[in-house]
Amino acid sequence: MSANKELQQGYSDYSAASDQAALLNRLITAMQKGELTDELLEHIPELGDAKKLNDKLKYRKSILEKSIAEQAAKNKKNGVKATSTSSPSSSTSAPAEKKAKKDGKTGGAPPKQAKKVDYVTVEDYGSSIFGRLQSLFKKAIEDAFPGLDVPLLLAETPNPQFGDYQCNSAMPIAAKLKANKINKRPGDVAKEIQAKLPTKIDFVEKIDVMPAGFINIFLNTDYLRRQISLLASEGVKLPKLTRKRVLVDFSSPNIAKEMHVGHLRSTIIGDSICRLFEAVGFDVLRVNHIGDWGTQFGMLIAHLYDRFPDFLKKLPDISDLQAFYKESKKRFDEDEQFKKRAYEYVVKLQSHDGDIVKAWNTICDVSKKYNQIVYNYLDIKIKDVGESFYQDKMIELVKWVKTNKPDMLREEDGRQIMFPTGCDIPLTVVKSDGGFTYDTSDLAALKYRMLEEKCDWNIYVVDSGQSLHLETVYAAGRDFGWYDESIQRVEHVAFGLVLGDDKKKFKTRSGETVRLLDLLSEGVKRATEKLIEKGRETAMSEEQLVAARDAVAFGCVKYADLSHTRTQDYVFSFDRMLEDRGNTAVYLLYAYTRIQSIFEKDEVKNVDLVKYIASTPTLPLDHPGEFKLAKQLLKLSDCVLLVLDSLMLHQMCDYVYQLATLFHDFYNECYVIENKEGGIKTICPYASSRFV
Ligand SMILES: NC(=[NH2+])NCCC[C@H](N)C(=O)O
């Protein structure tokens, strides 16, 4: 070999080796990050094969688990879940896969959670003192230490000696500077932050910087007095936010099945979120994604024809839909002839046959009529946009995917499935019989909500058991480019189970699902007993008593749910929720009643109040109890901003509970009305007059 050739060989050996080293480096980094791409795996066939085998096994495992779940559902006595996978028709009924997911049996890590966009854009903080402080401090820190990217640490102080609020950002900033080889004491960092704050802030009395770096903020009491007077004369003014279009999918029961306590939680939480959004001026779509489509309607229609032949003339009186469902399911399982008819009806329903559609409508109407009673009790407004709304949209969806993203679909055992990025469990888009699934309808719904309804924020108030299903659907939406995560937010607002006193899933004594109407009626009964026990029926008119009874009964059920951290399971207990002490609706109602009694007993007219406030632009607030109450009142906007971001409604309950407690303290310590000579009553200019 000539020297030249040797050199060439050496060079190519060297470059091959350095390529290898570079490849190895990429592989190691990718492995550490868990991002082994197919392109990288091609270089190490063994590894690629192992990965493929692993994927296959994982998928097989999920199929097996699905079959087990399916079998379990079949074996379960009185099992009413209609999967009808052998039907030659389309179905959106929850397939076994959904059940397996619900039970958490499918394994596999949940796909990456959608990034949460810092979504609520405040145009004007208005009365939110904390919001204004936050934005002032954020700006001061950014001006003093540009690009340092340290989260703002600002909180209320428990000890008034250290002011009303304290900013503790100086310490982490000093640490970060140190890491960048800049030595600065936290005290000096704090001084630099202070120097960047405006010299005069209307609501701040003084700002003290402690040598250790704490920044103590003292509010201006005159400002608070003026604010409270303004609140009294002009009412609540919430911060001004950029208007958003928000869709809230909540309640969403299934037709012909009993609405259960899980749906009750969804209804209460979803409605409260809507009310909050409406209060800040968002454009809110209250959507009931009812389960009103699927092969189970075949058997229900067949049974309807037999049991209520004149259903076309008058709405059948099916008092117990659950029993009706069970009866038809039993016939479907045992009677071949009936089964055949059921299938025929499904086909007819899907081809929009007039009478069959009417029968389907009848069943939906009976079910909805029942649900409406629950909604009326709880004062819930919601619009039905159920699974049936997506009938044609599902067909369109499949066409769309086949045309635009054909590579995303995979055929397995005759089914069309897809694995969205980062997901171990596939979505079944088309079943082997050509039918659709819960996955298909949720995909179609997501596409419609983001592209047609043009939602900025799409919220699903659904139990945490469906988290994997929803996250997989969202991941598919991202893959399909249906929404832009930097400006839009798609979010599962999950909640835990409702438990009985025995800490087990909430059931009747005989182990049945609790009917919501029975539950609410029980609440009404208990509330009536409570009111009678307190002798209220003598003090109230019948009308007032009914109003009080409903406020107590339904208020308690709602508040008990909302005041618990929603992501956790909570124990449903009438005894606890009807207590007049602690964080309960009764305790809040008690505060409200006391306020009303001031007006009633002392015959103070609203006009007198208005006059008094108009002539007192700075309310005195001389008594500590009064001042504390005023401060809490002024925190409403802060609380609204907090909950808008977290969607954790217990934070709002904590706020009102604290407010009620402070009101009770105030009521016990201060006079509100002064009894002048000659029996003339005037509003006391100093609420603390009991002490003067
Ligand atoms: N888009 C949704 N998947 N919403 C929730 C639907 C809840 C479903 N109907 C159930 O009862 O489990």
Q: What is the mean pLDDT of residues 366-371?
A: 92
Flag whether 552 is in a domain.
no
Least confident of 36-40, 161-165, 430-434: 36-40
- Name the pLDDT band for 103 (thresholds 50, 70, 90): very low
CA of 471 to the centre of ligand 1 (A): 13
Residue 26: predicted pLDDT = 53
Cβ of 252 closer than 6 Å to ligand 1, yes or no, is yes
CA of 384 to the centre of ligand 1 (A): 13
Which of 495, 517, 532 is at the close of a domain?
A: 495
Residue 126: predicted pLDDT = 83
Task: Judge contact between 384 and 376, C-beta under 8 A.
Answer: no
Residue 122: predicted pLDDT = 87
Task: Give the separation between CA 278 and CA 284, rounded to whole angstroms.
Answer: 7
Cβ of 460 closer than 6 Å to ligand 1, yes or no, is yes
Q: Helix or strand or coil: residue 503?
A: coil
Residue whose C-alpha is closest to residue 254's, from 441, 72, 472: 441
CA of 585 to the centre of ligand 1 (A): 29
CA of 520 to the centre of ligand 1 (A): 22
What are 344-356's pLDDT values in tens digits? 999 999 889 999 9
- Name the pLDDT band for 14 (thresholds 50, 70, 90): very low
Residue 690: predicted pLDDT = 38
Task: Give the separation between CA 45 and CA 51, rounded to whole angstroms.
Answer: 10
CATH number at residue 655: 1.10.730.10
Cβ of 140 closer than 6 Å to ligand 1, yes or no, is no
User: Which of 606 and 592 is assigned the larger pLDDT?
Assistant: 592
Range of the domain at 354: 296-379
Could you tell me if 262 and 315 lie in one domain?
A: no
Could you tell me if 456 and 364 lie in one domain?
A: no
Residue 502: predicted pLDDT = 87
Our mutation pick for probing the ligand 1 site, out of 99, 289, 390, 455, counting the most ligand atoms within 8 A of Cβ, is 289
Cβ of 254 closer than 6 Å to ligand 1, yes or no, is yes
For residue 391, pLDDT over 60 is answered with yes
CATH number at residue 446: 3.40.50.620
Flag whether 267 is in a domain.
yes
Our mutation pick for probing the ligand 1 site, out of 466, 473, 491, 493, counting the most ligand atoms within 8 A of Cβ, is 466
Cβ of 442 closer than 6 Å to ligand 1, yes or no, is yes
Cβ of 463 closer than 6 Å to ligand 1, yes or no, is no
Task: Give the separation between CA 348 and CA 354, rounded to whole angstroms.
Answer: 9
Could you tell me if 611 and 490 lie in one domain?
A: no
What are 195-208's pLDDT values in tens digits? 999 999 999 999 99
Neighbouring CB atoms inside 10 A of 504's CB total: 9
For residue 293, pLDDT over 70 is answered with yes
Could you tell me if 390 and 464 lie in one domain?
A: yes
Could you tell me if 439 and 491 lie in one domain?
A: yes
Could you tell me if 405 and 280 lie in one domain?
A: yes
Residue 54: predicted pLDDT = 56
Considering only CA atoms, which residue is closest to atom 11 of ligand 1?
253
Could you tell me if 286 and 409 lie in one domain?
A: yes
Could you tell me if 197 and 213 lie in one domain?
A: yes
CATH number at residue 203: 3.30.1360.70
Highest mean pLDDT among 37-51, 94-108, 412-426, 585-599: 412-426
Residue 307: predicted pLDDT = 92
What are 439-461's pLDDT values in tens digits? 999 999 999 999 999 999 999 99
Cβ of 490 closer than 6 Å to ligand 1, yes or no, is no
- Name the pLDDT band for 598 (thresholds 50, 70, 90): confident
Positions of E strands within 388-449: 409-412, 415-418, 427-430
Q: What is the mean pLDDT of residues 269-281?
A: 97
Q: How far is CA 245 from the centre of its chain?
A: 16
Cβ of 445 closer than 6 Å to ligand 1, yes or no, is yes
Residue 101: predicted pLDDT = 41
Considering only CA atoms, which residue is closest to atom 10 of ligand 1?
253
Q: Helix or strand or coil: residue 590?
A: helix
Could you tell me if 374 and 392 lie in one domain?
A: no
CA of 67 to the centre of ligand 1 (A): 22
For residue 86, pLDDT over 60 is answered with no
Least confident of 9-18, 65-74, 460-469: 9-18
Task: Report the domain count for the chain.
Answer: 5
CA dihedral 373, 378, 382, 385 (to 10 degrees): -50
Flag whether 101 is in a domain.
no
Which of 473, 495, 517 is at the close of a domain?
A: 495
Cβ of 448 closer than 6 Å to ligand 1, yes or no, is no
Residue 168 phi/psi, 5-degree rounding, is -115, 30
For residue 80, pLDDT over 50 is answered with no
Q: Strands of 215-219's sheet, edge to edge?
A: 154-156, 165-167, 215-219, 204-209
Flag whether 114 is in a domain.
no
CA of 16 to the centre of ligand 1 (A): 56
Could you tell me if 687 and 585 lie in one domain?
A: yes
What are 484-503's pLDDT values in tens digits? 888 899 999 999 999 998 88
Residue 618: predicted pLDDT = 85
Could you tell me if 340 and 407 lie in one domain?
A: no
- Name the pLDDT band for 13 (thresholds 50, 70, 90): very low
Q: What is the mean pLDDT of residues 2-20?
A: 48
Of all atoms in ligand 1, which is nearest to the CA of residue 263?
Answer: 11
> Residue for token digits 């619009």?
383
Flag whether 528 is in a domain.
no
Flag whether 555 is in a domain.
no
> Which residues does 483 contact at the CB level (< 8 Å), separation at least 6?
450, 458, 477, 490
Cβ of 291 closer than 6 Å to ligand 1, yes or no, is yes
CA of 163 to the centre of ligand 1 (A): 48
Considering only CA atoms, which residue is closest to atom 3 of ligand 1?
442
Which of 54, 70, 86 is at the close of a domain?
A: 70
What are 605-661's pLDDT values in tens digits? 777 777 878 888 888 888 889 899 999 999 999 999 999 999 999 999 999 999 999
Our mutation pick for probing the ligand 1 site, out of 269, 462, 464, 474, counting the most ligand atoms within 8 A of Cβ, is 462
Q: What is the mean pLDDT of residues 112-124?
A: 66
For residue 507, pLDDT over 60 is answered with yes
Cβ of 308 closer than 6 Å to ligand 1, yes or no, is no
The ipTM estimated for the assembled molecules is 0.99
Residue 471: predicted pLDDT = 96
Neighbouring CB atoms inside 10 A of 482's CB total: 18
What are 546-589's pLDDT values in tens digits? 999 999 999 999 999 999 999 999 999 999 999 989 999 999 99
Flag whether 571 is in a domain.
no
> Residue for token digits 């009673």?
373
Strands 415-418 and 409-412: antiparallel
For residue 541, pLDDT over 70 is answered with yes
Flag whether 574 is in a domain.
no
CA of 274 to the centre of ligand 1 (A): 18
Cβ of 266 closer than 6 Å to ligand 1, yes or no, is no
User: What mean pLDDT value characterizes the chain?
Assistant: 83
Residue 105: predicted pLDDT = 34
Could you tell me if 612 and 666 lie in one domain?
A: yes
